[in-house]
């Protein structure tokens, strides 16, 4: 049994996409980040960066002690190795998958995240910041679109690289992107959207939380008022 510490955000969805594909036995432990539940000491022990997602695997492949993992990219690699699925054993395909996974973790995720921040949440609309992140998100969409021009999925068969990228393309409208400008990306997006596991993963999210996460000043303070003092 895997405990998944989760909230209904793109990084959370990456892991439910994987778990729903494989049918691994898991339990969702909601961590409402708008209420500050990511600062609970028991959660910080598992995820010292006070961010979801995180997991605890109670029956790891080695040893009797449960294993805890945070960072969605590390979690996807862990789960792929545990199950032998969605990360090829072939050296070239494996590292192709990993480089695109790292690309998502270091590029698409953080840039689209800043895009959401300045485009949607920031109390002041700073045009320079909005343009910077909308343009950079567009550039990254362009890179992915080009990559998908001559292949069905990002690296070999459907993999953890696709699962990492897909949830960050779901909010394309709020990122100021039009999928019609990226036809190969759009074809890939529509194909993943229709996978039964994807449908189940997003249905699960609705059972936990239906509305947007950040709706109150209190939530904004919790999420956007963090500094070094927060971790002391």
CB of 30 to ligand GSH, least distance (A): 12
Residues 6+ apart with CB under 8 A from 176: 115, 119, 130, 134, 137, 138
Q: Which stretch, 47-55, 93-101, 127-135, 184-192, contacts ligand GSH (CB under 6 A)?
A: 47-55
Coil/strand/helix, residue 63: coil
Which residue stretch of 4-12, 90-98, 145-153, 196-204 sits at the interface with ligand GSH (rule: CB under 6 A)?
Answer: 4-12
d(CA 51, CA 44): 9
Judging by DSSP bridges, how do beta strands 54-57 and 2-6 pair with one another?
A: antiparallel
Q: Applying CB under 6 A, which of residues 4, 19, 28, 33 lies at the interface with ligand GSH? A: 33
Task: Please choose, out of 46-54, 119-127, 138-146, 155-163, the segment that lies near ligand GSH by the rule CB under 6 A.
Answer: 46-54
- Whole-angstrom Cα distance, residue 119 to residue 117? 6
Asked whether 95 and 33 are in contact (CB, 8 A), the reply is: no
User: Residue 69 interacts with ligand GSH (CB under 6 A)?
Assistant: no
- The reply to whether 96 sits near ligand GSH by the rule CB under 6 A is no
Nearer to ligand GSH, 80 or 186 (CB): 80
| DSSP classification of residue 85 | -
Residues of this chain that bind ligand GSH (CB under 6 A): 9-11, 33, 38, 50-53, 71-72, 109, 223
């Amino acid at each position: 049994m895997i405990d998944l510490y989760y909230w209904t955000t793109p990084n959370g969805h990456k892991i439910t996409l994987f778990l729903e594909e494989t049918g691994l036995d898991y339990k969702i432990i909601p961590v409402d980040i708008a209420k500050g539940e990511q600062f609970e000491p028991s959660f910080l022990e598992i995820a010292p960066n006070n961010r979801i997602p995180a997991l605890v695997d109670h029956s790891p492949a080695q040893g009797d002690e449960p294993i805890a993992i945070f960072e969605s990219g590390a979690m996807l690699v862990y789960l792929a190795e545990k199950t032998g699925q969605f990360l090829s054993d072939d050296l070239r395909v494996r590292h192709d998958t990993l480089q695109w996974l790292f690309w998502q973790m270091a590029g698409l995720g953080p840039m689209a995240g800043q895009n959401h921040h300045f485009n949607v949440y920031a109390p002041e609309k700073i045009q320079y910041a909005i343009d910077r992140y909308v343009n950079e998100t567009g550039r990254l969409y362009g890179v992915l679109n080009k990559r998908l021009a001559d292949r069905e999925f990002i690296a070999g068969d459907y993999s953890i690289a696709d699962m990492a990228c897909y949830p960050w393309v779901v909010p394309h409208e709020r990122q100021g992107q039009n999928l019609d400008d990226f036809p190969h990306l759009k074809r890939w997006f529509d194909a993943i959207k229709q996978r039964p596991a994807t449908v189940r993963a997003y249905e699960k999210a609705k059972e936990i939380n239906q509305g947007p996460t950040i709706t109150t000043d209190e939530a904004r303070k919790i999420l956007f008022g963090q500094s070094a003092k927060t971790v002391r």
